[in-house]
Structure 1
Amino acid sequence: MNFKKKKTHLLIISLLLAAVTVFQITALSGCAQTDSKELLQKAKELYDNGNVEEAEYQLSLYIQDYPTDVEANILLGDWYTADNNDKALMYYRKAAKYIEYAENSLNYNNSSVTLNGGIESFTIKPAAKYTKSMKVTFSGNMFRIDKDSDTGKINKAELQLDDSKCKTTKWFAVNASEKTISAYGNMNCAVWQFMDDDGNIDFYDDESDFNSYNSIRVSNKAYSYAEIPEDAVSARLTYYDPSVKNTNTKLNNGVFAEYGSFIQGYTSVNSQTLEIPDLSGDEYIEYKNGKWTLYSGDKKTDLKLGTIPKTSLYVSVSGELVGELEYTCAKKSETKADKSKEYGISYKSGTTDFSCRRIGDAVNMSFNYKIDDTWANNGSNDFDNAYPWCEMKRCNIKITNGKKIIVYENEKGYKNDGSNGNVMVEIPKFYTKRTVEDGYESIMISGTMHEGYQLDPAFIGTDGSELEHIYVAAYPSAIDEKSGLLTSSSESFPAIKLLYKDTQEKVTGNGKGYTELDLVTYSALQKLFLIETGNINSSSIFSGDTANFYFYADSDKSGYATNTEKNTNTIILKLNTLTERLAVGDSITIFSGWSEYKNTAEYHREIESLSENENEIMITFTGNPIDIEAGKTAISNIPLKCGKTDSIEYCTGINQRGDGKSSFKYRGMENLYGSVMTVLSGASFSQEQFTYTTADGTSYTVYAEIPVQTSGFSGIENLNKNLCIKSMIYDSENPLVMLPSELGNGASSTSAYGDFWMQFSKETSATARYLAVGGANDNFGLAGIFHMRAFIDADATDNTNSGYIGSRIMFR
């Protein structure tokens, strides 16, 4: 009891002390407030009495206590102006900082904005007394940043560049609301600086390799991206370092910036900067109906500032004293799935660039995808409202009593696991046009026929009729252990080491309408991907499952066990540049070599845990325990188990797991490239002539010069310099067929198509060489949607050397 009474007394005393303290603080702050208000009044009286210097001093003291008082800042600016004091501009800027602005405006606090449509009107007026040296810049989603660059390199957060011979861009305006920005082009390094309005600098040193011929790893990049600090208003980039050797860099080709974390199609690379006449008082400038007018009292003056580009997506303002810029935009069309619209891309033939210009109804459209459950860039994906992309959807297809039964995703009974039929993606019919004119290639897609278009041959049925839909497997094929057929389902391991005849026999057994993926359908998928992403270098969008360890019996025994152990789920390996690619979650096999491997459960395992020291790596794996023998038992990655992207609710996305170690899906189709190569049905070379068939059995021969190329993956520099695809053939009789016409000559894993080409058939060779596409899971940056190898001998019976040849089924 005594303790409780004592505690009560202490509580009362504490409350009393707290009350006294609060009273003192309130009294003092009230006193300070009174004193500050008195400073303002005193300053005005001093000024009225002619004591200017003391008045300015008293008012500056007041502003220290009340920095957000706009009128006081303007007043002191006026006094300093009358006194010819350079401090005037500083106080007008302070006033501009704290003015309340209209939501749809550019101003001191919001110097760059993203437009949501074409500008209809634009008004520029002073915010704090007047404007000085204002510039307004309009740009598309890509703009050049390296013109008139400075010499020297960014030195952390220092304003002064170092005295090296590096190249650094001038400061350029950035829109912090976009959150990320990418730089792309002829660059071999990337050091970023970002500056806010108060001159504070943040920096980011991207230590990746850029455009290097010495590497095809996904850490060798064609572009750099950085997060924009939330208060940043400008940025600059060191993009060229002469000490970095053997890079694909030509300074006169330009470096460009694009908002977002990846490079996609652009509408215009031009930017237009307007120098705005200084304004004061009630003067303002208005842009309307394509004309600029200066209003000063009753006087109107036409200004020749130029028309705002209709393709503008961003507008920014800079200057010594920025005013307020209010604007209105035309609303974007809300029309969805208009089949008559024409979406396309255009790019220079034989260029080493890979970003394409969006044309037709694709102008100012943007692509986006999910990284797990988060959008990669701001906003959504405009192609979700464009046909045919908006009508692509997953479904189950089951053949029962000779009849096709389709259940769509989100309908009752739909399953990803194959228990309700193969998991497919429905693709609606579309028309296509591909032209090469005046050195530029263009590809167009529409839901209706237009001049120069043709029905995409993927939609020709077995009887020659037009099909309203076709269906492509959502997953690489796995062998169903009950039926022995190639099927499409989640939670399965992609089949590898397949012979050409395997894919034909093990697919058609699914029922009438099923075939192995064919050239015309794969070509249709390529064009859908290119137009949506606006990028011909697919691996720069999704690196996919491409940076894994592929076992081979090298003299260093890189992939062999160093431990001998009975009945275990642990293998210990030497730690080296090959085994360091292994990671938790990887799909692996444990065997004595590829001649032993089978597409059965005993060879399908995943890494559960992994630990390393300086010399060794210890791996625990799933499945039944086995015997491990040092120097004889080996490990290899195999293609990632299907369904890794099922957790991503959106139709296009990638797992956030690491460069080259992640499954991705495009419009519901998982790992279209990388992971496992897909053999195509009915597409082959014989004596350097390429032939393909459509579903109705019609055969076509392409008459074009296509390189013979038999070199493999040895010699990375040679591979990267000379064996990547630079340009595609154009056969007027088969305009939609895209096969290489030129290799190397500036093309590499980080430029042009970025993909590898192999073709074994020579004039003297009568052996048909069938085409496999997409690259394998150890092909790094060379595995993309245009990775193609014409090397499969259809008559071969030995599958020990067929590597990662796999399958993807389709249905018509």
Structure 2
Amino acid sequence: MNFKNKNSLLKLTSLSLSILTAFSATALVGCSQTDAKAALQKAKDLYEKGNIEEAEYQLVLYLQDFPSDIEANILLGDWYSTDGNDKSLVYYRKAAKYTEYDENSLNYNTTSTLLSANVQSFTVKPAAKYTKSMTVSFSSNLFQVDKDSENGKIYKTDEQLDESDCKTTKWFSVNNSQKNISVYGKINCALWQFKNKDGENTYYEDDADFNSYSSIRYTNKAYSTAEIPEDAVSARLTYYDPSKEDTINVDEGVYIEYGSFIQGYSNSSTQTFTIPDLSNDDYVEYKDGKWTLYSNGTQTALEFDKISDNSFYMSVAGDLIGELDYTTSEAAENKVDKSKKYGISYKADSTRFACKRTDDAVNMNFNYKIDDEWANTGANDFDNAYPWCEMKRCNVSVKDNKKTVTYEGDSNYKEDGSNGNVMVEIPKFYTKRTVKDGYENISISGEKYDGYQVDPAFIGSDGKEADHIYVGAYFGSINEGDKILSVSQTYPEVKMLYKNTLSAAEKNGKGYSELDYVTYSALQKLFMIETGNINSSSVFSGVTADYYFYEDENKSAFAIVDAEKSNTIILGANTFTSRLAEGDSISIFSDWEEYKNTSEYQREIESITRDSSKNIIVTFSGDPVDIKTGKTAISNIPIKNGKTDGIDYCTGITDRGNGKSPFKYRGIENLYGSVMTILSNANFTKQEFNYSTADGSTYTLNADIPFQKEGFSDIDNINRKYAIKSMAYDSDNPLVMLPSKLGNGASALTSYGDYWLQYSSSKSATTRYIAIGGANDNFQLAGLFHMRAMIDADSNDTKELNYIGSRIMYR
């Protein structure tokens, strides 16, 4: 379309604008349809007579009262266009806004959509007489945006960047059918601008720290998330500021992903096609992978690429958006097919943590609940994928060596222990893991293929394959008979000695045991493939930012005011006491060593307030106690079981803030964080890793696993040196994932994001057993792969076991 330029531009003075407003208020408001038609015709007559300015003025007045008149908006747009006035686009857009569109259509009102199947064909045509600079974009759920970046920094809503050496992306299309958008990779700042379909900018600054070595707290982030404005069609962001020092050297690229967390992707590209300007009956057709322009009775082939079958999203943008009517292939039926394979692939020695989805997992979406709302747009596709779709909560009761299973939803199902332990049933599956050409590849299927093996978790004590195994939904608590239970509304047992833990789990009956290594390894792979992410704490923070009295050398949480028989303790304000929050599980004592797993020591914070001196006033549950200044202390303890019971979906998190949020994964509460869990049937001796399956078969890993003794006293040091970078691979034991490299760019925010400790020298003959998951004060270094080979089964020293607990299983 060509806009003609003339010198006669309509200029309204402030006086004429005032007259216009007054006229509108008196002359047209409430007028009859006959009067409205007469006013419209008057404007047309004036225009025919050459009284252009008066005609435009009359039509503006008319449209103030009848803004949805499409014909009148187009007419005024035409007049302004002929007159060379840029306001023409305003009225063409208004006409496009009020146009009626087909359901399967992208247009001025609906500029984006999430695709449920591949696009087969579409046509693009004007909605309001013309299109101008219209683009059509297709993207996966992840695409790179830092190529050809510009120098300069975004300042609020200004279009012009400043003249700094910061790096800012060019404008890229966004899909406003999604709630949120995230950026990760080589970033150390995040200043967002969004542009709407009328060319107006909005601004958002994420003032967190990004990719800094100096902290493992949740104020230091690996990615930035922004809310997408409802009418946004494009965005850009400033992502790198050279003045910020000590930034982790992330391997490659800056990537955009839709949603509030980073998950697996199918490809990392976006396609944007610029449509030729169309007018009247012109249109562009896409069919059978080919693009054709139809204009003035002629056909012209457009040299555009075929649209990728891995496209997740489709969107339109431009100065004047037309209508795009589309058809998609028939969506695949959501039914369980055990023969499908679901996999991930990722660079084995990289700081990146998002994985490429492979096999039948391509274009699948993961989602979860935050309290009672979905975290992202779209369903969790793994609800129809085996084995995830058949993981379900249940009660398991064993009497006279006979198992009874009662599933959640049954009237007899209970979470209080009255009908047996609360467990999660996991169906048998087959697993394959390879490391090839520098990439980790992991895949799961319900059927056995070449290179796949039955996951060792399903090898029973008789050597046969079990159809199901069961994992405790909650951390272990101990009843009066010294039996470890998995029951809601109980406090996790801590200070647990290795041998006692194993025997207490077995007291539940034949088939019960403490969670073993091969089962935990299976859970790791289920989590990674479903989320498409190897850095679990970037998905769920868990309960990992609590205050732990024992590790605070200054003992910052002592009482500062005496009180007799009280349920209130007053504390000084500091970085440690600031971690306490309403609902926390806590203990009141004089020394952590006196803590016992009894109700006397197990309490919850009922409220937190501050006095006029900013001191922290904590009110807690339980019997009142005498509070002594400088002697009575408070500490978080592992959070009470059942905090996620109110979430009405199998996977979700309570929205209490980063590092203070219990979560559940497929019904298993707090798979990591809050309590470090003892694993059975695995150990290190002289730096060799040994593990066994339930039938007693024992295996030794042929790989060098790093050992070190650095604890959490120097956070900056361990964040640089002891986070997991890559995993060892033994072709004889391919499913075993233990660290082969630490540091080298890995941190709490990159790679696996977890801490590794093998607490022995290479010459030590002492057998060391394993605890996993990270404690409640380990922040972002606590996650799915946080492992410590440090437990001496022959030691009665509970000092190093203060935060060690249990989770039972049944096979």
With the shorter chain as reference, the TM-score category is: over 0.9
Deviations 1:405-431 (A, max 9, x none): 111111122110111111110000000
Deviations 1:446-467 (A, max 9, x none): 1111121110010000011010
Paired position in structure 1 for 2:171: 171
Paired position in structure 2 for 1:384: 383
Deviations 1:192-212 (A, max 9, x none): 222323343332222222111
Distance 1:78 1:625, change over 3 A: closer
Aligned: 1:545 with 2:543: yes
**Alpha-carbon shift at residue 145 of structure 1 (Å):** 2.4
Paired position in structure 1 for 2:126: 126
Counterparts of 1:530 and 1:543 in 2: how far apart (Å)? Answer: 15
**Alpha-carbon shift at residue 133 of structure 1 (Å):** 2.6
Paired position in structure 2 for 1:11: none
Counterparts of 2:75 and 2:734 in 1: how far apart (Å)? Answer: 71
Paired position in structure 2 for 1:307: 306
For the residue of structure 2 that corresponds to 1:641, the secondary structure is coil
**Paired amino acid for 1:138:** F
Paired position in structure 2 for 1:145: 145
Counterparts of 1:607 and 1:47 in 2: how far apart (Å)? Answer: 75
Q: Would the aligned equivalents of 1:188 and 1:249 in 2 still touch at CA under 8 Å?
A: no
Which one is further off, 61-70 or 738-747? 61-70
Paired position in structure 1 for 2:515: 517
**Paired amino acid for 2:688:** Q
**Alpha-carbon shift at residue 502 of structure 1 (Å):** 1.5
Unaligned runs of 5+ in 2: 1-24
Paired position in structure 1 for 2:618: 619
Q: Would the aligned equivalents of 1:131 and 1:279 in 2 still touch at CA under 8 Å?
A: yes
Within the candidate set 480, 492, 495, 1:494 is matched to 492
Q: Would the aligned equivalents of 2:29 and 2:65 in 1 still touch at CA under 8 Å?
A: no
Distance 1:457 1:43, change over 3 A: same
Which one is further off, 486-495 or 157-166? 157-166
Paired position in structure 2 for 1:569: 567
Deviations 1:591-617 (A, max 9, x none): 222322222221111112222344632
**Alpha-carbon shift at residue 184 of structure 1 (Å):** 1.4
Which one is further off, 139-148 or 431-440? 139-148
Aligned: 1:606 with 2:604: yes
Deviations 1:58-96 (A, max 9, x none): 545544544332223333444455566655444433332
Counterparts of 1:156 and 1:294 in 2: how far apart (Å)? Answer: 40
For the residue of structure 2 that corresponds to 1:552, the secondary structure is helix
For the residue of structure 2 that corresponds to 1:147, the secondary structure is coil
**Alpha-carbon shift at residue 533 of structure 1 (Å):** 0.6
**Paired amino acid for 1:189:** C
**Alpha-carbon shift at residue 55 of structure 1 (Å):** 4.6
**Paired amino acid for 2:602:** H
Counterparts of 1:661 and 1:163 in 2: how far apart (Å)? Answer: 41
Counterparts of 1:239 and 1:95 in 2: how far apart (Å)? Answer: 37
Q: Would the aligned equivalents of 2:197 and 2:317 in 1 still touch at CA under 8 Å?
A: no
Paired position in structure 2 for 1:680: 679
**Alpha-carbon shift at residue 278 of structure 1 (Å):** 2.6
The 5 Å alignment of 1:567-716 reads 567-613=565-611, 614=613, 616-716=615-715
Which one is further off, 229-238 or 727-736? 229-238
**Alpha-carbon shift at residue 30 of structure 1 (Å):** 5.3
**Alpha-carbon shift at residue 483 of structure 1 (Å):** 0.8
For the residue of structure 1 that corresponds to 2:520, the secondary structure is helix
Paired position in structure 2 for 1:73: 73
For the residue of structure 1 that corresponds to 2:122, the secondary structure is strand
Q: CA RMSD in A?
A: 2.2
**Alpha-carbon shift at residue 475 of structure 1 (Å):** 0.3
Deviations 1:313-358 (A, max 9, x none): 1112223332211101123212421100111111111111111111
For the residue of structure 1 that corresponds to 2:393, the secondary structure is strand
**Alpha-carbon shift at residue 763 of structure 1 (Å):** 2.5
Paired position in structure 1 for 2:7: none
Counterparts of 1:430 and 1:294 in 2: how far apart (Å)? Answer: 51
Counterparts of 1:565 and 1:593 in 2: how far apart (Å)? Answer: 18
Q: Would the aligned equivalents of 1:36 and 1:65 in 2 still touch at CA under 8 Å?
A: no
**Alpha-carbon shift at residue 309 of structure 1 (Å):** 0.4
Within the candidate set 520, 528, 531, 2:529 is matched to 531
Paired position in structure 1 for 2:409: 410
Distance 1:264 1:776, change over 3 A: same
Paired position in structure 1 for 2:157: 157
For the residue of structure 2 that corresponds to 1:601, the secondary structure is coil
Paired position in structure 2 for 1:393: 392
**Alpha-carbon shift at residue 297 of structure 1 (Å):** 5.2
For the residue of structure 1 that corresponds to 2:44, the secondary structure is helix
Paired position in structure 2 for 1:254: 253
Distance 1:478 1:210, change over 3 A: same
Q: Would the aligned equivalents of 1:196 and 1:234 in 2 still touch at CA under 8 Å?
A: yes
**Paired amino acid for 1:784:** G
**Paired amino acid for 2:766:** T
Counterparts of 1:516 and 1:30 in 2: how far apart (Å)? Answer: 78
Counterparts of 1:32 and 1:135 in 2: how far apart (Å)? Answer: 41
**Paired amino acid for 2:41:** Q
Q: Would the aligned equivalents of 1:369 and 1:375 in 2 still touch at CA under 8 Å?
A: yes
**Alpha-carbon shift at residue 545 of structure 1 (Å):** 0.6
**Paired amino acid for 1:94:** K
Counterparts of 1:92 and 1:199 in 2: how far apart (Å)? Answer: 14
Counterparts of 1:656 and 1:733 in 2: how far apart (Å)? Answer: 43
Paired position in structure 1 for 2:788: 789
Paired position in structure 2 for 1:320: 319
**Alpha-carbon shift at residue 167 of structure 1 (Å):** 2.2
Distance 1:297 1:791, change over 3 A: same
Counterparts of 2:345 and 2:555 in 1: how far apart (Å)? Answer: 48
Distance 1:520 1:63, change over 3 A: same
Q: Would the aligned equivalents of 1:494 and 1:639 in 2 still touch at CA under 8 Å?
A: yes
**Alpha-carbon shift at residue 655 of structure 1 (Å):** 1.0
**Paired amino acid for 1:276:** I
Counterparts of 2:85 and 2:342 in 1: how far apart (Å)? Answer: 58
Unaligned runs of 5+ in 1: 1-24
**Alpha-carbon shift at residue 515 of structure 1 (Å):** 0.7
Paired position in structure 1 for 2:352: 353
User: Percent of pairs identical after alignment?
Assistant: 64
For the residue of structure 1 that corresponds to 2:766, the secondary structure is coil
Q: Would the aligned equivalents of 2:707 and 2:762 in 1 still touch at CA under 8 Å?
A: no
**Paired amino acid for 1:546:** T
Counterparts of 2:523 and 2:576 in 1: how far apart (Å)? Answer: 33
**Alpha-carbon shift at residue 142 of structure 1 (Å):** 1.1
Which one is further off, 396-405 or 698-707? 396-405
Counterparts of 1:665 and 1:299 in 2: how far apart (Å)? Answer: 60
**Paired amino acid for 1:768:** T
Distance 1:555 1:26, change over 3 A: closer
Which one is further off, 166-175 or 541-550? 166-175
Distance 1:31 1:496, change over 3 A: closer
TM-score by length of 1: 0.93
Distance 1:688 1:84, change over 3 A: same
Counterparts of 1:731 and 1:178 in 2: how far apart (Å)? Answer: 42
Deviations 1:564-603 (A, max 9, x none): 3333222222222112211111111122223222222211
Counterparts of 1:499 and 1:401 in 2: how far apart (Å)? Answer: 28
Counterparts of 2:476 and 2:799 in 1: how far apart (Å)? Answer: 19
Alignment length, in residue pairs?
787
Deviations 1:195-240 (A, max 9, x none): 3233433322222221111110122111111222222222222222
Distance 1:559 1:48, change over 3 A: closer
Aligned: 1:238 with 2:238: yes
For the residue of structure 2 that corresponds to 1:427, the secondary structure is strand
**Paired amino acid for 1:260:** G
For the residue of structure 2 that corresponds to 1:599, the secondary structure is coil
Deviations 1:249-284 (A, max 9, x none): 45x822222111111111111111122223233222
The 5 Å alignment of 1:53-64 reads 55-56=55-56, 58-64=58-64
